[in-house]
Structure 1
Amino acid sequence: MDRVIFHCDLNAFYASVELLQYPQFRTAPVAVCGDPSARHGIILAKNEAAKAFGVKTAETIWQARRKCPDLILLPAHHDKYRYYSKLAGEVYTRYTDLVEPFGIDESWLDVTGTLHLFGGDPVALANQLRDVMKQELGLTISVGVSFNKVFAKLGSDYKKPDATTVIWREDVPRIVWPLPVTDLLFVGRASARVLEKAGIRTIGDLAAAPRDQVERLLGKHGGQIHDYATGEDHSPVRPAGEVPPPKSVGNGLTFRRNLVGEEELRAGVYLLAERVALRLRRHQMKCTTVQVALRSPEFKTIQRQKATPAPTNVSRVIAQCVLELMEAAWHPASPLRAMTITAAGLLPEEEAGEQLDLLAPQASARRAKQEKLERAMDQLQDRYGKTIIGYASRQTQAARAIAGDEEKKEEKP
């Protein structure tokens, strides 16, 4: 028997939460944005009225206002979003204990084992959920109902806002396969370009292609998305509170002023590398790949990556990888607006032991010594505060100039 999976998506979440305080703007075009004075002036969310003008998430405020001169801008309040996300999660757990968040505004629910307690009709239950959310929180959700997680999410995206979409097995050829391949979970623009060169443009094209052909094009990821397209995703909905380990950990900064020169660039690299390494150690993970994204004041982004010399969660090793990438990709005299460092290819620490390099035994020993040092620093900072100890590189004028900036954290499950 097929499972019954819901994907619940809070519609225009940030904007909807803000509009609870400003009901007079409910029918007007509204967007939530970052702080322009702190150089975070981008659109974070928009309501349906703003969307009708072509306003898009992640574009700059001036681009959005050019499309919609009467756009109402509201500041972001992330504490509010976390609060309402928690309330929504509590509503979901009334219906099942198998609730898996997918970001702050989306969740999967497996109601297979509890559906009989609520009348046995999946569509009626989805509609009941939508009504409860409106009545108790003043928010709307779109619900996708399907036999697996991938198609349930596709269903919640299919019709918005405040709608229920059902995709059973017999509905897949009619609803799913004609959609562009980019509508499928985890198929980004880069993968879509590769697939298009092979004549694969729709989800149906992907499902019809031989699995081994897609794997040759995209590696292991190709096999995974082929399974998604054919409906062979069997991944479980994890119980509420059970969080899977991340597959990557990233930290990014948009600097209050552009960084120029080798000293300032190094300061930015070491600051972010320390934060990434600390979070790796908190997760008891090590990375095998380091990625860096560099953004100019003109919003041109360069992305590069390289393998680490060995699995690591040491900031010095991560920073050195980034500096080597930047040496080939970024001139020190070019102003740098923003930087993101991501540790990928993660392994649990117990599976990521380093064998002694017979050709460079000193390098292996030095990395082990650095890891021991940084763990000792973690313990001191946990006990006495972050300022009790740190690398001397933090105390340079350049490092102090950027250390107070807000950071963006990314963890990909």
Structure 2
Amino acid sequence: MERVIFHCDLNSFYASVELLDHPELRHLPVAVCGDPDSRHGIILAKNEPAKAFGVKTAETIWQARKKCPELVLLPAHHHKYREFSRLVNHIYQEYTDLVEPFGIDESWLDLTGTLHLFGGDARALADRLRERLRCELGLTISVGVSFNKVFAKLGSDYKKPDATTVISRENFKQIVWPLPVTDLLYVGRAAAQTFQKFNIRTIGDLARFDRESLFTLLGKNGVQLHDFANGLDRSPVAPATQHTPPKSVGNGLTFPRNLQGREEIRAGVTQLADQVGTRLRLQHMKCQGVSLAIRDPDFRDLSRQQRLDSPTYLGREIAQTAMELAESCWNMDHPVRALTVTALYLVPEEEAAAQLDLLSGPLERKRERLEKLEGALDSIRAKYGKGAIAPASAPRDPGEDRHAPPPGGSRSYLEEP
């Protein structure tokens, strides 16, 4: 039986939710953003009039206002977005129990086994779903309908806002293959740069490229992307209740002022590593590698990574490795605008057997004490809040309340397989 997969993408989600409370602004260019007075204020979402001025998500507020001086800025209310996301996915679940969220504003639905209950016409059901969300929640979605997840997502991106696009086995070469190869799911920066060297500019170019050569260039990822381009994705729609452990855990911070010198950089690394360690312990995972990304005031990025001798979820061990990476690749006299520390190659805590050597006994006893200590810190944070206890060296603005949570444009993420 041919699969029927929907990808539903809420249009300008954050901005749409905010405009429910400000209908008088709908015709104006509007963006949801961070604090306009801080350096790390960035555009989180924008409405269609703002898009017409070229305003882009993730650019800084000052860049957006250069393009659109009349841009109306609204603060973010993340609790609202989580609640609307929950309501939207609850509606999806009335049509199928196979609903896989992909971020807060996108979901895949597998309707293969239930479409016949709703008339049997996939396009008509997608249109009905769009109408229902518009009427009941005041939000619009774009829906891609296809026979696999990758093409369904391309369909929801193909025409916006508030549209349905059907990509079938009969028409996918006409619709999908002319699209830029960077539109394909999981084509990252490195793959795109490799493709450019070999004149692979469209998804069709990728589909026609020699499969074995792609394996030579990009390994298994190259073969997978070739399959995606040819409509051979067979990945299932996995409901949110089927938990998949993350592949990595990272935290990044854009600091209120540039870090200067080894000690300030060490303080920033320590703060982030402590947060990463805390999140690893919550996930009951340990990491076998650490990466560090450094951004300078001119937005130039540098990143390095390193394997660990033994799996860990201790913030101090993650910080030590991250500082070794910093000292190996960065001139400590140069200012730092932002840092990101990421734990890589995660394994479940119970499987993380440390490698033994002649000193393993004393070292393991010391590690056990440190793990108990950091566990106690986790308990304090759980009871009194994340800002209740933090590394004393965490970088702060002069005169800032020492009991306040750390400042800056903090971001954290879990990378899924």
**TM-score, normalised by the number of residues in structure 2:** 0.91
Between the aligned partners of 2:87 and 2:8, the Cα distance in structure 1 is 14
The alpha-carbon distance between structure 1 residues 67 and 352, as it changes in their structure 2 partners (threshold 3 A), is same
> How far 1:372 moved relative to its partner?
5.0
- The one-letter amino acid of 1:20's match is L
Between the aligned partners of 2:230 and 2:292, the Cα distance in structure 1 is 34
Out of 392, 405, 408, the position equivalent to 2:407 is 405
Q: Which residue of 1 aligns with 2:375?
A: 378
Equivalent residue runs for 1:182-201 within 5 Å: 182-201=182-201
- Aligned residues, how many? 409
Mapped contact 2:314–2:370 kept (Cα < 8 A): no
Mapped contact 1:255–1:402 kept (Cα < 8 A): no
Identify the range of structure 1 (35-44 vs 45-54) with the bigger mean alpha-carbon deviation.
35-44
Between the aligned partners of 2:390 and 2:57, the Cα distance in structure 1 is 36
- The one-letter amino acid of 1:410's match is Y
The alpha-carbon distance between structure 1 residues 20 and 398, as it changes in their structure 2 partners (threshold 3 A), is closer
Q: Which residue of 2 aligns with 1:88?
A: 88
RMSD: 2.5
**TM-score, normalised by the number of residues in structure 1:** 0.92
Between the aligned partners of 2:278 and 2:80, the Cα distance in structure 1 is 27
Q: Which residue of 1 aligns with 2:124?
A: 124
- The one-letter amino acid of 2:407's match is D
Identify the range of structure 1 (81-90 vs 157-166) with the bigger mean alpha-carbon deviation.
81-90
Equivalent residue runs for 1:212-227 within 5 Å: 212-227=212-227
The alpha-carbon distance between structure 1 residues 50 and 264, as it changes in their structure 2 partners (threshold 3 A), is same
Equivalent residue runs for 1:5-404 within 5 Å: 5-357=5-357, 361=359, 366=363, 369-370=366-367, 373-379=370-376, 381-382=378-379, 394-396=391-393, 398=395, 404=406
Identify the range of structure 1 (200-209 vs 67-76) with the bigger mean alpha-carbon deviation.
200-209
Mapped contact 1:256–1:402 kept (Cα < 8 A): no
Mapped contact 1:317–1:367 kept (Cα < 8 A): no
- The one-letter amino acid of 1:285's match is M
Paired residue secondary structure (2:287) = strand
The alpha-carbon distance between structure 1 residues 396 and 42, as it changes in their structure 2 partners (threshold 3 A), is closer
Unaligned runs of 5+ in 2: 397-401
The alpha-carbon distance between structure 1 residues 231 and 357, as it changes in their structure 2 partners (threshold 3 A), is farther
The alpha-carbon distance between structure 1 residues 337 and 402, as it changes in their structure 2 partners (threshold 3 A), is farther
Identify the range of structure 1 (343-352 vs 120-129) with the bigger mean alpha-carbon deviation.
343-352
Mapped contact 2:309–2:355 kept (Cα < 8 A): no
Between the aligned partners of 2:404 and 2:330, the Cα distance in structure 1 is 19
- The one-letter amino acid of 2:29's match is P
Between the aligned partners of 1:111 and 1:230, the Cα distance in structure 2 is 22
- Residues 384-407 of structure 1: CA deviation (Å, up to 9, x unaligned): 85779x9x9923475759952253
Q: Which residue of 1 aligns with 2:399?
A: none
Paired residue secondary structure (2:391) = helix
The alpha-carbon distance between structure 1 residues 367 and 102, as it changes in their structure 2 partners (threshold 3 A), is farther
Mapped contact 2:101–2:239 kept (Cα < 8 A): no
Paired residue secondary structure (1:144) = strand
Paired residue secondary structure (1:169) = coil
- The one-letter amino acid of 1:352's match is A
Between the aligned partners of 1:154 and 1:264, the Cα distance in structure 2 is 44
- The one-letter amino acid of 1:339's match is L
> How far 1:263 moved relative to its partner?
1.9
- Residues 236-279 of structure 1: CA deviation (Å, up to 9, x unaligned): 11124333211111111222232222222111111111111221
> How far 1:373 moved relative to its partner?
2.1
Paired residue secondary structure (1:394) = coil
Mapped contact 1:154–1:184 kept (Cα < 8 A): yes
> How far 1:199 moved relative to its partner?
2.7
- The one-letter amino acid of 1:374's match is E
Mapped contact 1:267–1:393 kept (Cα < 8 A): no
- The one-letter amino acid of 2:84's match is Y
- The one-letter amino acid of 2:218's match is L
- The one-letter amino acid of 2:229's match is A
Mapped contact 1:313–1:371 kept (Cα < 8 A): no
Paired residue secondary structure (1:291) = strand
The alpha-carbon distance between structure 1 residues 213 and 137, as it changes in their structure 2 partners (threshold 3 A), is same
Percent identical pairs in the alignment equals 61
The alpha-carbon distance between structure 1 residues 397 and 228, as it changes in their structure 2 partners (threshold 3 A), is closer
Between the aligned partners of 1:226 and 1:366, the Cα distance in structure 2 is 47
Between the aligned partners of 1:140 and 1:247, the Cα distance in structure 2 is 32
The alpha-carbon distance between structure 1 residues 375 and 208, as it changes in their structure 2 partners (threshold 3 A), is farther
Unaligned runs of 5+ in 1: none
